Amino acid sequence: MASLSSLCSSSPSLKPKPAASLPKTVLNPPFPGKPTSLSFPIRSSKPLDVAAHSVAREIAADSSKSGGNSVPGKPKKGLEKDPQALWRRYVDWLYQHKDLGLYLDVSRIGFTDEFFREMEPRFQQSFDAMEGLEKGAIANPDEGRMVGHYWLRNSELTPTPFLKTQIESTLDCICTFADEIVSGKIKPPASEAGRFTQIMAVGIGGSALGPQFVAEALAPDNPPLKIRFIDNTDPAGIDHQVAQLGSELASTLVIVTSKVGIGYSQILSQSFPLQSGGTPETRNGLLEVQKAFREAGLDFAKQGVAITQENSLLDNTARIEGWLARFPMFDWVGGRTSVMSAVGLLPAALQGIDIREMLTGAALMDEATRSRDLRNNPAALLALCWYWASDGVGSKDMVVLPYKDSLLLFSRYLQQLVMESIGKEFDLDGNRVNQGLTVYGNKGSTDQHAYIQQLREGVHNFFVTFIEVLRDRPPGHDWELEPGVTCGDYLFGMLQGTRSALYANDRESVSVTVQEVTPRSVGALIALYERAVGLYASLVNINAYHQPGVEAGKKAAGEVLALQKRVLAVLNEASCKDPVEPLTLEEVADRCHAPEDIEMIYKIIAHMAANDRALIADGHCGSPRSIKVYLGECNVDALY
Ligand SMILES: O=P(O)(O)OC[C@H]1O[C@H](O)[C@H](O)[C@@H](O)[C@@H]1O
């Protein structure tokens, strides 16, 4: 068993910020009929932010009147259209990273020189903040945490030698373990295959999206281990994944990933069904997979791997039950920036992806994006474009369109990275700002046949990021499907055509170009966007590294399940009577002492009825007032 617990760091206690009491004011004229208390302006007490936020405010106020584009620094009559002027702008602003073969074209974002001059000093502040973060400042103040994902690809940067050792030894352990699995040195105990052939990755959010993106982008056609994911608590989805494995379950390595842990232990499951703060979807995925192992007569522990923080319940369970291996998640790496930790590197290495190349690509990009020269820093240029295009308040969405099938999941990956980082209610000074930057997209040219019609002609509420890959196919495989034109030329033409057509209608875009989709370029792309998010967050004065809003949904889900237990107890009692006493919804709600929850009780019963766990005696679910409900069986034990 590969035991890595000595590498793990323990998490400091969280320090929640006291809730700020805030005045609510209204910036824009309210929409007729909409309650004004739902609208909040950008407010900042930082003198530094006043200028730019006043620009943002004017933009927002002006946009509401005129459809935008009549604000200081923004051109009043649409974007520059003169071809020669545009070519000059293209050449003047083109960023190139020679070693990485990566280009960034911001020429089709219409920011003005005046805007650039105004923002430049603000970026210097963001660079200061980023330098502090890389040196180990508590850059996530609400959680009292350092933010160290940049150290993962350059361990020299760590603030202490201990962290450096942790990073390096973990990387060595990942490589060794992956080699031993791939070579068959570590074998599945009961498989005729004689080696592991499949990975079932169980995790959600940052514990799934990075590995999914990397697998889709980089896994070879015939990887040593094929990967599939359980990233939800949808039972049918889980069944589908398990069914697809079939008899290969015996040669499946199950990687369970959760930073906070799943709060589940076979030993403690009766008393602690779900640890507070655990990730329920991941716990459920694990329980379902373990059931499949039991039913197939397989020993889960011999095929299980945990990636989690030291001493989480998942870590302790894996240790006590003797799982095949455990790898650490570090306290100072957030889920959405964890793809270059064991979370992303272990599955990647098992699929035969060169993880050291990924790290090199990221390290090279990190170096480039440390530049304090705004024009020469691609992450800063991106952040500048986001600020310009979305008025620094998220007024426009970012549509991400990679023209390469293997990069399909980049937009989904960026959705979490950007939206969970930027989408915040309060800024760092406690002002209510309701910040955000919406990200969506799939891939080109496919999306041209879906929603680009609206982008070209419909509501103007977005800007585009094109991701272009110059190499169409590996050398030696290309052919001309009509004289002088290859299949890849069409893809190229579609991208350039869409970019031009959108721009002609004043739709702005950024283009990022890489030579090929390789571990190095994927590492660089990830690092580019991680830094852009960090710089942008600093510009708008928010904490990019926490996610307080996510807890509300989890807590509410827990309350629904607690109510369901009470409903079940009430129905069971009535169903154990002789004769059985079917109950109306009002009666159930009264007996649960929860008349105010009658709608939720109705939904709970409708869901149970749809799954044959409650029976409708009278009426039907489409007419809630009519129904009377009971349980098919009386559970006598549950009565006492
Ligand atoms: O890895 P875990 O601790 O299970 O967390 C998985 C996910 O949970 C939450 O939804 C957080 O908002 C995400 O940032 C995180 O990636």
pLDDT, tens only, 311-329:
999 999 999 999 999 999 9
Please, which pLDDT band fits residue 446 given cuts at 50, 70 and 90?
Answer: very high
What CA–CA distance (Å, rounded) separates 54 from 56?
A: 5
Establish whether residue 511 lines the binding site of ligand 1, counting it when its CB lies within 6 angstroms of any ligand atom.
no
Q: Which of 17, 164, 460, 554 is catalytic?
A: 554
Average pLDDT score over residue span 52-64: 44
Burial class (CB in 10 A: 0-12, 13-18, 19+), 457: exposed
Average pLDDT score over residue span 83-90: 97
Q: What's residue 539's pLDDT?
A: 97
Share of the chain above pLDDT 90, in %: 81
Find the 341 Cα to ligand 1 centroid distance in Å.
15
Average pLDDT score over residue span 101-115: 97
Q: What are phi and psi of 185, to 5 degrees?
A: -65, -45
Q: What's residue 33's pLDDT?
A: 54
pLDDT averaged over every residue in the chain: 88
Find the 151 Cα to ligand 1 centroid distance in Å.
21
Establish whether residue 107 lines the binding site of ligand 1, counting it when its CB lies within 6 angstroms of any ligand atom.
no
**Candidate of 255, 259, 533 to mutate for ligand 1, largest count of ligand atoms within 8 Å of Cβ:** 259
**Candidate of 143, 204, 213, 551 to mutate for ligand 1, largest count of ligand atoms within 8 Å of Cβ:** 204
Helix, strand, coil shares of the chain, percent, nearest 5, are: 50, 10, 40
Q: Which of 76, 77, 98, 449 is catalytic?
A: 449
Find the 70 Cα to ligand 1 centroid distance in Å.
41
Establish whether residue 404 lines the binding site of ligand 1, counting it when its CB lies within 6 angstroms of any ligand atom.
no
Q: Is the pLDDT of residue 287 over 80?
A: yes
Q: Is the pLDDT of residue 482 over 80?
A: yes
Find the 449 Cα to ligand 1 centroid distance in Å.
34
Q: Which of 143, 288, 310, 420 is catalytic?
A: 420
Q: Is the pLDDT of residue 1 over 80?
A: no
Is 577 a known active-site residue? Answer: no
Closest atom of ligand 1 relative to the 416 alpha carbon = 14
Average pLDDT score over residue span 6-31: 35
What CA–CA distance (Å, rounded) separates 224 from 210?
A: 20
**Candidate of 276, 420, 421 to mutate for ligand 1, largest count of ligand atoms within 8 Å of Cβ:** 420
H or E element that contains 482: strand 480-482
Q: What's residue 77's pLDDT?
A: 58
Establish whether residue 378 lines the binding site of ligand 1, counting it when its CB lies within 6 angstroms of any ligand atom.
no
Q: What's residue 73's pLDDT?
A: 57
Please, which pLDDT band fits residue 42 given cuts at 50, 70 and 90?
Answer: very low
Structure tokens at 572: 């069971």
Please give the angle made by the CA atoms of 240, 258 and 196, to the nearest 5 degrees: 55
Q: What's residue 8's pLDDT?
A: 31
Average pLDDT score over residue span 543-564: 92
What CA–CA distance (Å, rounded) separates 101 from 197?
A: 35
Please, which pLDDT band fits residue 629 given cuts at 50, 70 and 90?
Answer: very high
Q: Which one-letter amino acid corresponds to residue 52?
A: A
Q: Is the pLDDT of residue 56 over 60?
A: no
Is 185 a known active-site residue? Answer: no
Find the 278 Cα to ligand 1 centroid distance in Å.
9
Cβ contact 213:263 at 8 Å: no
List alpha helices for 544-629, DSSP H. 548-575, 585-591, 598-610
Q: What's residue 272's pLDDT?
A: 38
Q: Is the pLDDT of residue 412 over 60?
A: yes
Establish whether residue 251 lines the binding site of ligand 1, counting it when its CB lies within 6 angstroms of any ligand atom.
no
What CA–CA distance (Å, rounded) separates 633 from 474?
A: 63
Establish whether residue 282 lines the binding site of ligand 1, counting it when its CB lies within 6 angstroms of any ligand atom.
yes
Q: What's residue 70's pLDDT?
A: 36
Please, which pLDDT band fits residue 23 given cuts at 50, 70 and 90?
Answer: very low
Which of 14-18, 20-24, 109-113, 238-242 shows the lowest per-residue confidence on average (mean pLDDT)? 14-18
pTM of the model: 0.89
What CA–CA distance (Å, rounded) separates 355 from 228?
A: 19
* Per-residue pLDDT tens over the stretch 139-193: 999 999 999 999 999 999 999 999 999 999 999 999 999 999 999 999 999 989 8
Collapsing DSSP to helix, strand or coil, 628 comes out as: strand
Residue, of 539 and 28, whose pLDDT is higher: 539
- CA nearest ligand 1 atom 4, residue: 258
Q: What are phi and psi of 46, to 5 degrees?
A: -80, 125
Cβ contact 628:584 at 8 Å: yes
Residue, of 163 and 57, whose pLDDT is higher: 163
Average pLDDT score over residue span 262-271: 44
- In sequence order, the 6+-apart residues with CB closer than 8 A to the CB of 24 are 37, 40, 432
What CA–CA distance (Å, rounded) separates 373 from 115?
A: 16
Find the 334 Cα to ligand 1 centroid distance in Å.
8
Q: Is the pLDDT of residue 270 over 50?
A: no
Average pLDDT score over residue span 505-515: 98
What is the four-CA torsion angle of 423, 429, 430, 433, rounded to 10 degrees? -40
Find the 263 Cα to ligand 1 centroid distance in Å.
13
Q: Kindly report whether the peptide bond that precedes residue 378 is cis, defined as omega within 30 degrees of 0.
A: no
Q: What's residue 632's pLDDT?
A: 92
Please, which pLDDT band fits residue 275 given cuts at 50, 70 and 90?
Answer: very low
Establish whether residue 207 lines the binding site of ligand 1, counting it when its CB lies within 6 angstroms of any ligand atom.
yes
Is 396 a known active-site residue? Answer: no
- The DSSP symbol for 231 reads -
Establish whether residue 335 lines the binding site of ligand 1, counting it when its CB lies within 6 angstroms of any ligand atom.
yes
Find the 162 Cα to ligand 1 centroid distance in Å.
26
